[in-house]
């Protein structure tokens, strides 16, 4: 059998896929139709590897999270089998990988924006590469509606601050309207005093 291996590299991430053609499906000699192994290296993190279902879960979560993050939506995403969890972590992103082996603690990886972008790019290159004839087991993304984006990015705290600021503005404006001003009186009084001083000097 023909063993094939392809690599997708970005600045901080490197994804290597190994497999063979699926002859029963009519794959050509340079096409991977059966995935045998994969490895992912993120700078500063241990080497990751697993089976196809683990890669399915990783692709599902990373692609959904990145797409939402670009739209201004910051929320946690969990894969169907809970192998992979990613959530906002301050200005960074926390990737949690759960092992299927008992007794193995979850692996936590903190990604900055550039590392998340590189990882997303590797997975996108894999998904759309014509050298692969593999059906990935995750739902295809659907475009976000404007209503969903607005509801997701709205901040109740900001809305309440705007409401309180509006009330203060209205009260302050009302005080200025009802409090009389004495500008004209002061000017007249100053004028009269000036006339008295002129008479005395004469």
Residue with tokens 């000036």: 194
Is the pLDDT confidence value at 13 over 90? yes
Q: Which residues of 36-68 are buried (b: 16+ CB within 10 A; e: fewer)?
A: eebebbbeebeebebebebbbbbbbbbbbbbeb
- pTM, to two decimals: 0.70
d(CA 41, CA 87): 20
* Of 110, 113, 122, residue with least CA distance to 58: 122
d(CA 53, CA 58): 9
- State the virtual CA torsion across 190, 196, 198, 199 in degrees, nearest 10: 160
pLDDT tens, residue by residue, 118-150: 999 999 999 999 999 999 887 655 555 545 445
pLDDT tens, residue by residue, 150-161: 555 555 454 555
Evaluate whether 77 touches 64 at the Cβ level (below 8 Å).
Answer: yes
């Amino acid at each position: 059998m023909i063993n094939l291996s392809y690599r997708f590299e970005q600045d901080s991430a490197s994804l290597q896929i190994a497999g063979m053609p699926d002859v029963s499906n009519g794959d050509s000699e340079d096409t991977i139709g059966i995935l045998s192994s994969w490895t992912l290296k993120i700078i500063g993190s241990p080497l990751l590897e697993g089976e196809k279902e683990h890669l399915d879960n990783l692709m599902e979560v990373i692609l959904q999270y990145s797409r939402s993050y670009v739209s201004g939506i910051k929320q946690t995403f969990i894969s169907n089998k809970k192998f992979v969890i990613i959530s906002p972590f301050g200005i960074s992103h926390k990737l949690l990988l759960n092992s299927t082996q008992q007794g193995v603690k979850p692996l936590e990886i903190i990604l900055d924006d550039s590392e998340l972008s590189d990882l997303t790019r590797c997975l996108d290159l894999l998904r759309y590469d014509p050298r692969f004839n593999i059906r990935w087991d995750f739902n295809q993304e659907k475009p976000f509606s404007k209503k969903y984006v607005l509801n997701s990015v709205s901040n109740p705290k900001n809305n309440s601050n705007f409401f309180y600021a509006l009330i203060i503005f209205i009260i302050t404006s009302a005080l200025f309207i009802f409090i009389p001003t004495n500008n004209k009186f002061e000017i007249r009084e100053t004028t009269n005093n000036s006339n008295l001083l002129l008479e005395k000097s004469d």
